[in-house]
């Protein structure tokens, strides 16, 4: 076969390929990686935002958070504390059980557990506060020696009536227990407390189920919002969230009944609450009405 015959045959073959569609489809994307099979795609574990204050409304029912109050993202899944927790064999180890109905009081720290017993002050003073809520009464002990700044502000707010007739606006119990958060009062004479920040206390005690801590957006931004822990949240220690008290008696049985409303993670619209809480709450459907703190007051001081 001479070279001219070979060239003619080659041209005929190329023409046949074009007619039969051997070339790529023009719609194909070059170098497109194949999608992973569905069974190989792993979901990331859910992560909770730490308690944080918010002031601006957001569309579609989402809670908006001021730039200076936005809860920073938690990049890693919260880990259980590796050390610092007191041994169960030690005499002064408080034990909090389901519902907190069987709290064990320690000689030195009452219902708190220090990270480092030698570094934590002994608890010799406490104030009993009662929240009358629409689900029942929640009693708590507040410890000025555990966190002086936080305890002083909380008692000031209770005595001022700040926590009267306000919603427990953020209750996160699913998919994992986290917190119940409150502390927005939009009324004249009360809203002014919002901008009265106080400095952080040292974080000396575990953030166990039933303990109380102030919500904040960063160092020294505590003001009015407080959360009750539904579970151990010691991962917040690195952000210096400080325990200043704990729910006592059967208070956690009541707290476990608080209504989960609004955004599953951030609760009701905090901006709308600060702007005009009464109107906002009235606008909510019946199945989105929060548990209310009817009245808060000091029962006794020791």
Residue that is written with structure tokens 């809203």 in the block: 191
Token pair belonging to 247: 């729910």
Please give the C-alpha separations between residue 267 and each of 49, 97, 172, 241, 244, in angstroms, as whole numbers: 11, 26, 8, 20, 23
Per-residue pLDDT band at 64 (split at 50, 70, 90): very low
What pLDDT, on the 0 to 100 scale, is given for residue 32?
30
> What are 122-166's pLDDT values in tens digits?
999 999 999 999 999 999 999 999 999 999 999 999 999 999 999
**Domain definitions of the chain by residue range:** 50-58+91-301
The stretches of the chain forming alpha helices (DSSP H) are 3-20, 148-160, 251-255, 270-283
Q: Is the pTM of this model over 0.85?
A: no
Per-residue pLDDT band at 1 (split at 50, 70, 90): low
Q: Any idea which architecture 50-58+91-301 has in CATH?
A: Beta Barrel (2.40)
What pLDDT, on the 0 to 100 scale, is given for residue 104?
77
> What are 214-255's pLDDT values in tens digits?
999 999 999 999 999 999 999 999 999 999 999 999 999 999
Neighbours of 273 (CB within 10 A): 25
């Amino acid at each position: 076969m001479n070279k001219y015959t070979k060239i003619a045959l080659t041209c005929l073959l190329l023409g046949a390929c074009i007619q039969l569609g051997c070339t790529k489809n023009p719609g194909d994307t070059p170098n497109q990686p194949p999608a992973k099979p569905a069974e190989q795609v792993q979901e990331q574990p859910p992560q909770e935002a730490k308690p944080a204050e918010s002031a601006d409304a957001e569309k579609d029912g989402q809670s908006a958070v001021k730039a200076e109050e936005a809860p920073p993202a938690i990049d890693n899944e919260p880990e259980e504390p590796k050390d610092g927790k007191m041994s169960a064999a030690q005499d002064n180890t408080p034990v909090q059980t389901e519902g907190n109905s069987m709290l064990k009081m320690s000689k030195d720290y009452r219902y708190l557990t220090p990270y480092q017993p030698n570094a934590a002050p002994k608890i010799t003073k406490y104030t009993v506060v009662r929240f009358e809520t629409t689900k029942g009464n929640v009693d708590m002990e507040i410890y000025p020696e555990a966190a002086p700044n936080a305890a002083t502000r909380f008692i000031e707010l209770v005595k001022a009536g700040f926590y009267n007739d306000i919603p427990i606006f953020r209750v996160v119990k699913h998919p994992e227990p986290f917190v119940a958060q409150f502390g927005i009062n939009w009324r004249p004479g009360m809203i002014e407390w919002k901008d009265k920040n106080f400095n952080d206390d040292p974080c000396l005690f575990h953030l166990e189920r039933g303990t109380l801590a102030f919500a904040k957006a960063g160092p020294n931004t505590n003001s009015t919002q407080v959360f009750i822990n539904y579970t151990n949240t010691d991962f917040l220690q690195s952000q210096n969230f400080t325990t200043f008290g704990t729910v006592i008696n059967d208070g956690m049985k009541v707290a476990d009944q608080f209504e989960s409303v609004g955004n599953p993670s951030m609760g009701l619209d905090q901006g709308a609450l600060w702007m005009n809480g009464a109107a906002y709450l009235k606008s909510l459907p019946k199945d989105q009405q929060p548990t209310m703190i009817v009245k808060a007051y000091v029962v006794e001081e020791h």
